[in-house]
């Protein structure tokens, strides 16, 4: 009996100790979340100032700061197809004080084109919320004489290997948009890489290169002036910016979807409580009408949503673009 009482006492003490440890951990995590943030936050933009991602980052940071009660400073870390900024994020402490606005598409493509990539999006990042997406469209030269995607496909099939599409470089999102269109439409077309959209626009408007599957925003002034034409947008729904333009699925290329992506990332390992705080405050920012209208004027549609929703997109995008790359037999230069 004394032995049994001793054993019961020991077990009671042990469970009490474990219970207190659990309470301490929960209290510590809650206290940490409640005190966050206690200092300024750095927001990495992995592209140069002035571009779409930089614009989104600065507009978002400007409105997130008062919600969190701390400055949110944008730091541009361009280069390597957004991999330099991604490397900085992956090596940062997961304490909520270094974040990044990046593209799921960029980091889905990176493993295929950077042999010595130092990070993996699935392993080293946590996606907090999808901020917005930019409208991608099939942009053609009016001189081509086609008024629909179906007519473009018919012309390409009638002239195999004679039509060309422009991109901002081998292995980039614009290139792979064109390759995906080539594969899904079952046509033989020629890829012509340039160093950027502004470099190929004169040739596109002159008809020296026939089309591109690119961010519509970059072409909008020329669309309005009639120098180029958007046959379809690659979003799931029609763009509020171009409501009369059909989606690629409506135009006959069922399932063709692509967009520029703006997602808020943090280093992996960040406390779930801080992720929840950032997701909540980011969604509050994204509901602000002035921000939504400002970005929509640039062809950027605000999304928002749960952490689970944006994290579920990552494996889907990685599989999608790996398939396009493999089918096109594209290799790193």
pLDDT, one tens digit per residue, over 55-67 is 999 999 999 999 9
Cα–Cα dist 51/14, whole Å: 59
3-state secondary structure of 264: strand
Using H for helix, E for strand and C for coil, what is the string for 295-314?
HHCCCEEECCCCHHHHHHHH
In this predicted model, what pLDDT tens digit does every residue of 69-107 receive, in sequence order? 999 999 999 988 899 999 999 999 999 999 999 999 999
Residue 252 scores a pLDDT above 50: yes
Tell me the pLDDT tens digit for each residue of 105-129: 999 999 998 888 999 999 999 999 9
139 and 127 part of one domain: no
The answer to whether residue 333 sits within a structural domain is: no
Q: pTM of the prediction?
A: 0.83
DSSP letter (8 states) at residue 79: -
Strand 125-140 to strand 259-267: parallel, antiparallel, or no bridges (unpaired)? antiparallel
**Shared-domain flag, residues 55 and 196:** no
Beta strand segments in the chain, E: 41-45, 72-76, 98-102, 125-140, 164-167, 190-193, 211-215, 229-233, 259-267, 300-302
Q: Who has greater pLDDT, 150 or 10?
A: 150
What CATH number should be reported for the domain holding residue 272? 3.40.190.150
Q: What CATH number does the domain containing 158 carry? A: 3.40.190.10
Asked whether residue 74 falls in the same domain as residue 123, the answer is yes
Which DSSP string do the residues of 176-189 spell out, in sequence order? Answer: HHHHHHHHHHT---
Residue 10 has pLDDT above 60, yes or no: no
Q: What is the pLDDT of residues 139-191, one digit of tens each?
A: 999 999 999 999 999 999 999 999 999 998 888 899 999 999 999 999 999 99
Report pLDDT for 24: 43
What domain range is 269 assigned to? 35-133+261-323
Structural contact between residues 177 and 259, judged by C-beta atoms closer than 8 angstroms: no
User: Are 120 and 86 members of one domain?
Assistant: yes
Q: Check residue 5 and give its pLDDT.
A: 55
Domain annotation covers residue 3 = no
């Amino acid at each position: 009996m004394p032995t049994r009482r001793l054993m019961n006492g020991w077990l009671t003490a042990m469970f009490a100790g474990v219970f207190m440890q659990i309470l301490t951990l929960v209290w510590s995590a809650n206290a940490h979340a409640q005190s966050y943030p206690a200092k300024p936050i750095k927001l990495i933009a992995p592209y140069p100032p002035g571009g779409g991602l930089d614009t989104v980052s600065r507009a978002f940071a400007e409105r997130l700061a008062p919600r969190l009660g701390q400055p949110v400073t944008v730091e541009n870390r361009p280069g390597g197809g957004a991999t330099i900024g991604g490397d900085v994020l992956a090596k940062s402490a997961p304490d909520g004080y270094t974040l990044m606005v990046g593209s799921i598409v960029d980091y889905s493509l990176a493993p295929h084109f950077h042999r010595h990539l130092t990070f993996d999006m699935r392993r080293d990042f946590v996606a907090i919320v999808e901020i917005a997406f930019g409208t991608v469209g099939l942009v053609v030269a009016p001189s081509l004489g086609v008024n629909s995607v179906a007519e473009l496909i018919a012309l390409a099939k009638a002239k195999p290997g004679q039509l060309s599409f422009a991109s901002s470089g081998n292995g980039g999102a614009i290139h792979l948009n064109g390759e995906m269109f080539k594969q899904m439409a079952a046509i033989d077309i020629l890829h012509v890489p340039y160093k950027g959209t502004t470099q190929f626009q004169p040739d596109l408007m002159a008809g020296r290169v026939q089309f591109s599957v690119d961010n519509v925003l970059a072409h909008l002034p020329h669309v309005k002036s009639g120098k180029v034409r958007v046959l379809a947008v690659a979003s799931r729904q029609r763009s509020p910016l171009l409501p009369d333009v059909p989606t690629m699925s409506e135009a006959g290329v069922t399932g063709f979807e692509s967009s520029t992506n703006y997602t808020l990332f943090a280093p992996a390992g960040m406390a779930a409580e801080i992720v929840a705080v950032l997701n909540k405050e980011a969604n509050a920012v994204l509901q602000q009408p002035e921000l939504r209208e400002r970005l929509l004027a640039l062809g950027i549609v605000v999304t928002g949503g749960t952490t689970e929703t944006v994290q579920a997109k990552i494996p889907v995008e990685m599989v999608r673009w790996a398939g396009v790359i493999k089918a096109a037999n594209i290799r790193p230069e």
